[in-house]
Structure 1
């Protein structure tokens, strides 16, 4: 028994020593050391690295707080260069992701289609545009960019379905970083489209944006398939993968889709039936079934977060404006928003909690809708803050109303 304990202690010491060395190596990146020198140092001292070590390393850098987020972004990008070809594959693991319809199988199918689009169309048309910025070559690139905009669905499923489960297992570093890069890619694709649509001869600017898109999208595919997906497969349960597969349709797919419905060997989770117990309220009685149907038939989307900023409920109407999946339940609202907009959410909630505000309204153009977004501080009869209600409505039909329509007409 003492031999087993000693072996375990030696293994823990070895792992701690490796992590210390890894942190030192990547601290050199922050201090401005040449990337090639750091790579050589990594190869000599570490050689191979596991997904667990990558997760722990990036988590500790994120939690440390001494490195600015923008600087972390650069360091994580360079991490990927150093890790390339050095990630150690785990042996003897079952591979459920090989089954058609499994979320990871579908993610990888999409990645193959994205690669095909980049290599066989975008890069070809970029090279032609570099030689001749004719209207025909601009048109070809615009067609490619319109297809590439579909990548938003791939990233949205990753961010709204996969990331919440990883966070439940205490894995934050890689997910936060990836979401930030996803946003950079989305913005760059939109910028490329805008520059091409209003092209006035700025050839080098357009080429710079397109080269960035190709490089970053390709890099994200590598990060997903060598870091994110293995990490998720190691941590998520089959039940969680079933939920992700079930909810993926609501967001949609990119350039491809599941080959078939995924059917694990064991039976899928049975949906919990809504009991028919009644709820007594101040102004009446409703069954749970009636209450849920009533909320889902409102011509608005509502979401409720509690006093600890945790998402507790959202309505599920026929035409949602913003994508919501059941994976957000139990997740903090800060982690449901892109990193660049979290500060706005936190300021609003702070005002509600402090009693400075009781509501806040926003209105934006979103795709083909004019969206009115309202936030209300929910307080009890003593004025204590209980949570926040988000109320979202497409007001285009309301803005179009003219004259009168009486009930008898």
Structure 2
């Protein structure tokens, strides 16, 4: 027994030592130490890194706030050069469901190959031509490439709305926050490049730098997904969770290519019912659960409810949702359902509701072909105690066009 305890202590000590060295590796990059020296030290004293170790390091840096967000992202880019080829393949001898056509990871990787192909055979080629000659046909070629690359939004949205929530349920937060920030930078850079080309004024260098940034970041993100994010998810998620992710991916859509086929694990399907039998007695009537859900889903609006702890508890599921919602957000904090750059707005609004400073807040935006009216209401009980927030979203473009009268008899 004492031998077992001593061995366990040694294992814990070894793990602590490894994490200390790995953390110092990141700090060395942050402090500007020569990358060759960092690599040499890493190879000599560590030599490999596991998915769990990397996730723990990212979580520690985020918690300590020793390294700024900007520097953390810079390190996140550069550690690929250090750890490339060093990541332990802990599942190398195990079955690999991600290789099955239709599995969400298989589809993500198919998309990555198409993204790489688009960059290598079109965008990079056309960018070099544009660098030599920025005539109109070169600009149009780049615009065609960028329009295809905008499809990345679906790829990133599936990560953010399906993969990230499940990771957070397992207590893994580092990759989700950092990747979402980088995703947004990539989205913005692609849109900026498009605008500069649509309204081209001869600022060739600005366009070149933007597109070079896009290419670098997109390729870097592919590495991070396939060597960090996907292995981490595959290690933690259950088969049932992957089935749900595959099913809900359809609602968000795919990037450049569709799944090879529908994924059907070699087992019985999920034994879940869409509804639970029973009735709910309300103050002004009685409805079955089936009737209540159908009623809510037939409203010409989208509603989402979060509880007093900022946890998403419900959203309606109408035929034409304005903003994508997936079942993975249920049980997730609302802060983690928004891009990091807009979280402060959400938190300020909720703080006002909880403090009783406000009972509602309205916003309206143009979104694609819609004019969206977004309303937030503080939900309080009979005694005025805050119990949550209701989000109400509606496309009011058709309503704005109404004039005159249309009576029911007409």
**TM-score exceeds 0.5:** yes
| Partner of residue 45, structure 1 | 45
The answer as to 2:230 corresponding to 1:229 is yes
Q: Does the 8 A contact of 1:35 with 1:78 survive in 2? A: no
Q: Offset at 1:276?
A: 3.3
Partner of 2:246: 245
Cα displacement (A) at 1:362: 0.4
Alpha-carbon distance in 2 for matches of 1:339, 1:232:
21
Q: Distance in 2 between matches of 1:97 and 1:13?
A: 34
Name the counterpart of 1:402. 403
Write the deviation string for residues 28-65 of structure 1: whole angstroms up to 9, x where unpaired. 22333233332332222222211111111111111112
* Alpha-carbon offset, residue 243 of structure 1: 0.4
1:392 and 2:398 are equivalent in the alignment: no
Equivalent runs, 1:27-42 vs 2, <5 Å: 27-42=27-42
TM-score relative to the length of structure 1? 0.98
Farther-moved stretch of structure 1 (292-301 vs 275-284): 275-284
Aligned residue runs from structure 1 range 319-398, under 5 A: 319-398=320-399
Shift of 1:266: 1.3
Partner of 2:408, secondary structure, is coil
Residue matched to 1:129: 130
1:168-221 deviations in whole A, cap 9, x for unaligned?
111000111011100000001001100110111111110000000111000000
Which runs of 4 or more aligned residues in structure 1 lie more than 4 Å from their structure 2 counterparts after TM superposition? Answer: none
RMSD between superposed Cα atoms in Å: 1.1
Give the Å deviation of 1:142: 0.2
State the distance in 1 between where 2:6 and 2:269 align.
43
The answer to whether the 8 A contact 1:370-1:395 is kept is yes
Report the TM-score when normalising by structure 2: 0.98
8 A Cα contact 1:129 1:138, kept in partner: yes
Name stretches of at least 5 consecutive residues in structure 1 with no aligned partner.
none
* Unaligned residue ranges in structure 2 (runs of 5+): none
After superposing the two structures, state which structure 1 stretch, 76-85 or 305-314, moved more.
Answer: 76-85
Paired residue secondary structure (1:374): strand
Q: Closer, same or farther in 2 for the Cα pair 1:273/1:139, shift >3 Å?
A: closer
Aligned to 2:67: 67
Instruction: Return the alpha-carbon distance in structure 2 between the equivalents of residues 374 and 100 of structure 1.
Output: 41
What is residue 12 of structure 2 aligned with on the other side?
A: 12
Q: What are the equivalent positions in structure 2 for 1:200-349 lying under 5 Å apart? A: 200-349=201-350
Q: Matched residues in 2 for 1:347 and 1:70: separation?
A: 23
How far did residue 246 of structure 1 move?
0.6
The C-alpha deviation readout for 1:117-146, integer Å capped at 9, x for no partner, is 000000010011011101001000000000
Q: How many pairs were matched up?
A: 409
Partner of 2:145: 144
